[in-house]
Structure 1
Amino acid sequence: MKKKNEYIHHSNKLKAVDFFCSGGGMSFGMQEAGIQIIAGIDFDENCKTTYEANIKGAEFIHADVFDLKEKELEQKLSLKRNDNELVLIGCSPCQFWSIINTDKTKSAKSKNLLAEFSRFVKYFRPGYVVVENVPGVLRRKEESGLNDFIEWLKNNGYENPHFKVHNVNDYGVPQSRKRFTLIATRISQDEIKPLELEGKKAVVKDVLGTDKGFPKIEPGHKDKTDFLHTATNISDINKKRLQKVKKDGGNRLGFANDPELQLKCFEGNEESFKDTFGRLWWNRPSPTITTKFFSISNGRFVHPEEDRALSLREGATLQSFPLTYKFKGTSVANIARMIGNAVPPKYATALGKAIIQNYNNAV
């Protein structure tokens, strides 16, 4: 077993470039584990202020990966090829492979992002490679390019890649969220698995509520501080609906028998979309925090007790961002997109610690 100071000493040698970094969930979690983040790359310039406010010492590169060239990145960041201490991370936007039934025309370009990321892996041949995405990438591994990528890794020194769907709730995140994760290395033959936390799994009441620093607020509350305990407003009829939804896990069936409140689309159709207008349970992990978690009609995103949607800070907390994380954006929807698309930092820390452990055993 390595001593603590030795663990930190070794971990500081590892450095990472985070492709598709968004607001920095993966970068922050890796940094917390002890891996230095050199840069984050994203085509959405809206992420720059948030990323730079939280990922100290890292450069934000505004670039479309389709246009970015390997040599250009090599020169910009003074990267070396075949560097055992380099980690390349690719958590590409994944709407195309998501099971959520959305229009795929807008996201069609994103289906090729894994192939674009693999260009950089093949060029730099880093010590470590991390890919995180929706489970659909694995289910459709031929179409997504995952199969070809895994075969290339195995044939080029990354002999024992770990690729599996994990639930982030097993790693300290108070949310049920299944994510595909690949971790590969060419400096050892050991399979690297994210480090699970022992003991009780985190649930909503562990992180939310007035006793956890979240004062009661009304719908439409605007928090102009960095805490961002901001909740969207709702119509009067929706306020009446939420008053009839049972506290702690109730759903829209609470108002189904009220002709004034029942939605036409659900008349005679009580079994579908029951999470709409649904409350979180205190004693369960939250459902997957999506980019629309601020809306009561887009899933089970109603506060367990208060008659409102989750606030921005509550959504971020359920994603395991620390309360001090600063989100900068032009609108509620803009900030919520960064939060919902993020890799939960505590899960990223579990990945980072597993990589550090592997590195310490190999050197």
Structure 2
Amino acid sequence: MRAIDFFCGGGGMTNGLIQAGINVVAGVDLDPEAKETYEANNAPACFINADITKLPLDYFEKEFCVHPDDDEMIFVGCSPCQFYSIIRSSKEKSRKTKDLLLYFEKFVEYYRPGYVLVENVPGIMSNRESILNDFLQKLEQLGYGNRENGRCVYDVVNMKNYGIPQNRRRFSLIATRLDRQVHLPEHEEHIMTVREAIGDNKVFPYILAGEKDANLIRFHSAKKLSELNILRLENTPEDGGTRLAYKDNKDLLQKCYIGHDNSFSDVYGRLYWDRPSPTITTKFLSISNGRFGHPVQNRGLSIREGATLQSFPVNYEFKTKSLIVAARLIGNAVPPMFARKIGEVINE
């Protein structure tokens, strides 16, 4: 089996498919800062820094000898999903990403690979402006079947059910034009917790907020915090505590939350040791963007901790010294463990 990973980012999906024994030929992404990380960890897969809306349809035919109607080819389309996300953001800024799945569809139509994989936010199923139904209709027209005949399966799944220590709900689709049925990966019985993932002090030693790790493979680096935010964490109970612990302290409580105890109650909170983590976003380094405070240490998550909660291998090297860039590559990724399980379904 071979694959091309559209919107590949730092390589989460690619890496999981490689773990499943699939030869990923190339990854395509608009972000030049993803190239070095992608290729360093996923050789010999080649990173193509390109805008899919401008990439010629015959590009892969000419550059990688990818021929139409290859039964052993997989096309992966995990397009940027800000427009369909429930996270508050400017929909006008993200509108240009709304239809990227349809550009991916053009490559599917041209090459008709044996398999098509899609991963996106759950909102792509419910948003009134979603192009998902158009995409599903095109898949059926191209011979990829539908839910009734079992050759196209999709649903909203939670990563915590697949051995990943994280509450992360995502839309996932597997479709094939071959004469076989496919299914989404089976659930794991055990739900992994934050403690199991990052609780080993020998692997994740104590560090301070702002402490940098020069080793980019280990990359156990945390974002610097202001003295006030460190004081807030010192007053936040360990193991799941929230800012409500200091809601009556006018020196600590953020002005925007005065009288709004139940609004965005996770921000500035600590992770629970014995539960999966919240969704690891591109902002997981910041305690003001979610429940991203370390369970017991007075800091946010480190780069390596976030990567581990996303199920990246411990030796996955993020080839950048920028914490912001590394966090973006991690937060935008498909968890490699889930990608591996999808690859194993295809290989059955």
* Local SS of the residue matching 1:117: helix
- Paired position in structure 2 for 1:86: 73
Distance 1:208 1:330, change over 3 A: closer
Deviates more, 1:145-154 or 1:298-307: 145-154
Contact 1:195–1:353, Cα closer than 8 Å, also in 2: no
AA at the equivalent of 2:6: F
Distance across 1 between alignment mates of 2:48 and 2:193: 36
- CA deviation map 1:192-244 (0-9, x unaligned): 222333x3111101111244610000111000102111001111111111011
1:270 aligns with 2:261: yes
Out of 33, 37, 41, the position equivalent to 2:24 is 37
1:257 aligns with 2:243: no
- Where do 1:119-138 residues align within 5 Å? 119-138=106-125
Distance across 2 between alignment mates of 1:149 and 1:298: 33
Distance across 2 between alignment mates of 1:38 and 1:341: 21
Out of 181, 185, 191, the position equivalent to 1:201 is 191
Deviates more, 1:148-157 or 1:236-245: 148-157
1:168 aligns with 2:159: yes
5+ residue gaps, structure 2: 146-150
Contact 2:182–2:345, Cα closer than 8 Å, also in 1: no
AA at the equivalent of 1:96: F
Distance across 1 between alignment mates of 2:192 and 2:177: 34
AA at the equivalent of 1:102: S
Contact 1:184–1:192, Cα closer than 8 Å, also in 2: no
- Paired position in structure 1 for 2:170: 179
- CA deviation map 1:33-88 (0-9, x unaligned): 11110000001111000000100111111110000011122111110100000000
1:347 aligns with 2:338: yes
AA at the equivalent of 1:247: E
Residue 163 of structure 1 and its aligned partner are, at CA, apart by: 1.3
Distance across 2 between alignment mates of 1:221 and 1:53: 25
AA at the equivalent of 2:114: G
Runs of 4+ in 1 over 3 A off after TM superposition: none
Distance across 1 between alignment mates of 2:179 and 2:237: 53
AA at the equivalent of 1:129: V
Residue 330 of structure 1 and its aligned partner are, at CA, apart by: 4.8
Distance across 2 between alignment mates of 1:80 and 1:352: 21
* Local SS of the residue matching 1:88: strand
Contact 1:204–1:285, Cα closer than 8 Å, also in 2: yes
Query: What is the aligned length?
Result: 342
1:143 aligns with 2:129: yes
Residue 272 of structure 1 and its aligned partner are, at CA, apart by: 0.6
- Where do 1:153-164 residues align within 5 Å? 153-159=139-145, 160-164=151-155
* Local SS of the residue matching 1:308: coil
* Local SS of the residue matching 1:106: helix
TM-score by length of 1: 0.92
Contact 1:32–1:349, Cα closer than 8 Å, also in 2: yes
- Paired position in structure 1 for 2:213: 223
Residue 148 of structure 1 and its aligned partner are, at CA, apart by: 1.4
- Paired position in structure 2 for 1:17: 4
- CA deviation map 1:314-336 (0-9, x unaligned): 00000000110000125211110
AA at the equivalent of 1:208: I
Residue 106 of structure 1 and its aligned partner are, at CA, apart by: 2.2
Contact 2:163–2:190, Cα closer than 8 Å, also in 1: no
Residue 152 of structure 1 and its aligned partner are, at CA, apart by: 1.8
Distance 1:177 1:212, change over 3 A: farther
- Paired position in structure 2 for 1:301: 292
AA at the equivalent of 1:292: K
Contact 1:279–1:302, Cα closer than 8 Å, also in 2: yes
- CA deviation map 1:76-125 (0-9, x unaligned): 11101000000000001111110101112221111010000000000100
* Local SS of the residue matching 1:41: strand
1:76 aligns with 2:66: no
Identity over the aligned pairs, expressed in percent? 49
* Local SS of the residue matching 1:242: helix
* Local SS of the residue matching 1:16: strand
Contact 1:42–1:63, Cα closer than 8 Å, also in 2: yes
5+ residue gaps, structure 1: 1-13, 358-363
- Paired position in structure 1 for 2:92: 105
- Paired position in structure 1 for 2:308: 317
Deviates more, 1:207-216 or 1:245-254: 207-216
- CA deviation map 1:157-209 (0-9, x unaligned): 21131011000111111000000011000112413222333x31111011112
Distance across 1 between alignment mates of 2:34 and 2:186: 28
- CA deviation map 1:254-284 (0-9, x unaligned): 1111121111111111111110110000110
